Amino acid sequence: MTPLLAIANPLGGIDHSVALWFHAHLTPTFVSVLRGITEFGSSEWIAVVLGVAVLYFVFKRWWPSLLMTVVAIPGGMLLNEWLKILVHRHRPFVDGWFVDWSGYSFASGHTIGATLLYGQLALFIFPLIKSRRGRALVFSAALFMVALVGFSRVALGAHYLTDVLAGMFLGTSWLTICLLVSRPLRRAIVRPVLENVLPEPTPELVPIPVQADAPVATGSNSLI
Identify the DSSP state of 127.
G
Whether 110 sits among the annotated catalytic residues: the reply is: yes
Catalytic residue among 16, 25, 90, 159: 159
CA distances from 130 to 18, 23, 118, 135, 180 (A): 41, 45, 19, 8, 22
Task: Give the largest CA-CA distance in the chain.
Answer: 131
Around Cβ 81, how many Cβ atoms within 10 Å? 12
- Our CA dihedral for 69, 122, 64, 78, rounded to 10 degrees, sits at -20
Catalytic residue among 16, 25, 88, 110: 110
Amino acid at the residue 189: I
For the annotated catalytic residues, the residue numbers are 110, 159
